[in-house]
């Protein structure tokens, strides 16, 4: 009986944390989609940061920004907690495999990073940002290690693989198995949002991988990497604004899909 109670309590915590975390994720992706759309139509300067941190910073400057930042911090921590519990207990009474646990571990690191950077914005410390830190690490690795250039290139290839996997997951609708409570027309709408969102994420991740490979090939430690650099790389080409507008719509769709997941996904 005690074991059953502990299991039930763990599922309740995972359920609450997962849904709160998915709402926070959806909010940030919707904001990021709006920023990317503004960038596509020339409303953002090159100095502005167009990524998750930039979206949060934009929010901080609005009325009620500080209370919303606190809510986001709670949401990011809740998402990280859900991923920790998911790594140990699985989801939907399925035993997690090694790949799932590694993905969960990566998500924990990412969302703890979001929580930390949001907290820094809350207390007025804007810092250097994740993209600059990534760029500095890449430059240092290539400069100080003989194998660093190859490592950066290999990481870039792996990142492209993740992007292609995201696109494949969206096109093949692999995410549908978690939406067990959705039926009818509502399910069709949510699935369409999921397809668009996953493909858009995959495109952005793939461009980040290409930027890493470019840095390795050119031996360029000043090559920016990250979401901001990827979006600005897309918009820099003649066809870029139209492609970026489509990607922005997909990113926004992923935010809406996250809200739907918060309501309908089996998270414990």
Q: What is the 3-state secondary structure (H, E, C) of the chain?
A: CHHHHHHHHHHHHHHHHHHHHHHHHHHHHHHHHHHHHHHHCCCCCCCCCCCHHHHHHHHHCCCCHHHHHHHHHHHHHHHHHHHHHHHHHCECCECCCHHHHHHHHHHHHHHHHHHHHHHHHHCCCCCCCHHHHHHHHHHHHHHHCCCHHHHHHHHHHHHHHHHHHHHHHHHCCHHHHHCCCCCHHHHHHHHHHHHHHHHHHHHHHHHHHHHHHHHHHHCCCCCCCCHHHHHHHHHCCCCHHHHHHHHHHHHHHHHHHHHHHHHHCCCC
The total domain count for the chain is 1
pLDDT in tens, 142-188: 777 777 788 888 998 999 999 999 999 999 999 888 887 777 888 89
> Is 2 a residue whose pLDDT tops 50?
no
According to the model, what pLDDT value does residue 131 have?
61
> Is 134 a residue whose pLDDT tops 80?
no
pLDDT in tens, 181-230: 777 888 899 999 999 999 999 999 999 999 889 888 877 777 777 888 88
Domain that holds residue 181: 2-258+260-264
pLDDT in tens, 18-46: 999 999 999 999 999 999 998 888 765 55
- Model confidence, pTM: 0.86
């Amino acid at each position: 009986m005690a074991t059953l109670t502990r299991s039930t309590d763990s599922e309740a915590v995972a359920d609450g944390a997962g849904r709160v975390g998915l709402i926070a994720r959806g909010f940030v992706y919707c904001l990021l989609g709006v920023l990317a759309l503004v960038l596509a139509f020339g409303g953002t300067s090159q100095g502005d940061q167009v990524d998750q941190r930039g979206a949060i910073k934009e929010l901080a400057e609005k009325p009620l920004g500080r209370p919303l930042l606190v809510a986001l911090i709670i949401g990011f921590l809740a998402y990280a907690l859900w991923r920790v519990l998911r790594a140990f207990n699985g989801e939907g009474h399925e035993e997690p495999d090694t790949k799932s646990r590694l993905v969960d571990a990566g998500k924990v690191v990412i969302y703890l990073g979001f929580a930390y950077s949001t907290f820094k914005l809350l207390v007025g410390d804007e810092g250097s940002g994740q993209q600059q830190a990534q760029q500095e690490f890449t430059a240092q690795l290539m400069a100080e290690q003989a194998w660093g250039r190859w490592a950066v290139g290999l990481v870039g290839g792996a990142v492209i693989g993740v992007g292609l996997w995201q696109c494949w997951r969206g096109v093949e609708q692999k995410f549908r198995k978690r939406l067990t409570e959705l039926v009818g027309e509502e399910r069709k709408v949510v699935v369409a949002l999921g397809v668009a969102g996953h493909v858009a994420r995959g495109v952005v991740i793939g461009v980040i991988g290409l930027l890493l490979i470019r840095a390795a090939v050119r031996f360029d430690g000043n090559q920016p990497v990250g979401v901001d650099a990827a979006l600005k790389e897309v918009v820099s080409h003649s066809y870029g604004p139209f492609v970026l507008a489509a990607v922005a719509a997909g990113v926004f769709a992923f935010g809406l899909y996250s809200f739907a997941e918060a309501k309908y996904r089996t998270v414990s």
